[in-house]
């Protein structure tokens, strides 16, 4: 991702489009600790959507345990957390997503990532290390930086469930 020219339009990421994509993939439950990056544009529409049940947790690793239980009970879940919560939950991710190969679908807000800068080039250490960590874990990732990227969400969630493997969506831009 390079710098845009001054004449280029600023890309937009629309929370409602993400919510629609998640629902198209059959997700019924969203497990979340609020993240400033996605709180307004994503969590707010989710909490008012009657087709989604929002389960608020106190810490992010709880979401992994709950998602696993929902999966064994044949329900689809999306985990919505900040990258700091992802880092906090590493052992639960290691166990449930990687070793037990459950279809853990994580939407991770990259709070503080600079616009038009790739995560690996961010000045924020926590943002910069995220993609290499996912690669080491063997977790597929999609960078969601504009509405153009949203179309891939449904397909990726569907694939996660049919192949029983985790997936991470990195929310690079604050959804509106």
Whether the CB-CB separation of 68 and 45 falls below 8 Å is answered with no
Shortest distance, CB of residue 83 to other proteins, whole angstroms?
19
DSSP notation for 16-28: HHHHHHHHHTT--
SS3 content of the chain, % helix, strand, coil (to 5): 45, 15, 40
The reply on whether position 162 binds other proteins by CB under 8 A is no
Which one among 25, 30, 64, 106 touches other proteins, defined by CB under 8 A?
Answer: 64
Segment contacting other proteins (CB under 8 A): 8-16, 38-46, 89-97, 104-112? 89-97
Whether the CB-CB separation of 30 and 81 falls below 8 Å is answered with no
Segment contacting other proteins (CB under 8 A): 71-79, 103-111, 129-137, 151-159? 71-79
Shortest distance, CB of residue 97 to other proteins, whole angstroms?
10
Number of amino acids touching other proteins (CB under 8 A): 30
Segment contacting other proteins (CB under 8 A): 6-14, 65-73, 79-87, 109-117? 65-73
Whether the CB-CB separation of 25 and 157 falls below 8 Å is answered with yes
What is the Cα–Cα distance from 159 to 103, expressed in whole angstroms?
A: 9
**Interface residues with other proteins (CB under 8 A)?**
29, 53, 55-59, 61-75, 77, 91-92, 94-96, 99-100
């Amino acid at each position: 991702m390079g710098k845009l020219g001054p004449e280029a339009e600023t890309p937009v990421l629309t929370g409602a489009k993400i919510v629609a994509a998640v629902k198209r993939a059959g997700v019924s439950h969203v497990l979340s600790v609020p993240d400033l990056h996605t709180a307004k544009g994503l969590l707010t529409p989710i909490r008012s959507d009657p087709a989604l049940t929002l389960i608020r947790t106190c810490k992010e690793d709880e979401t992994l345990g709950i998602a696993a239980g929902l999966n064994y009970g044949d329900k689809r879940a999306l985990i919505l957390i900040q990258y700091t919560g992802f880092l906090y939950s590493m052992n639960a991710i290691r166990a449930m997503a990687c070793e037990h190969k459950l279809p853990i679908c994580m939407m991770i807000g990259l709070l503080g990532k600079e616009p038009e800068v790739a995560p690996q080039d961010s000045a924020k250490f926590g943002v910069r290390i995220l993609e290499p960590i996912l690669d080491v874990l063997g977790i597929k990732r999609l960078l969601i930086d504009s509405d153009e990227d949203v179309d891939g969400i449904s397909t990726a969630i569907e694939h996660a469930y049919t192949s029983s493997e985790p997936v991470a969506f990195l929310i690079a831009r604050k959804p509106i």
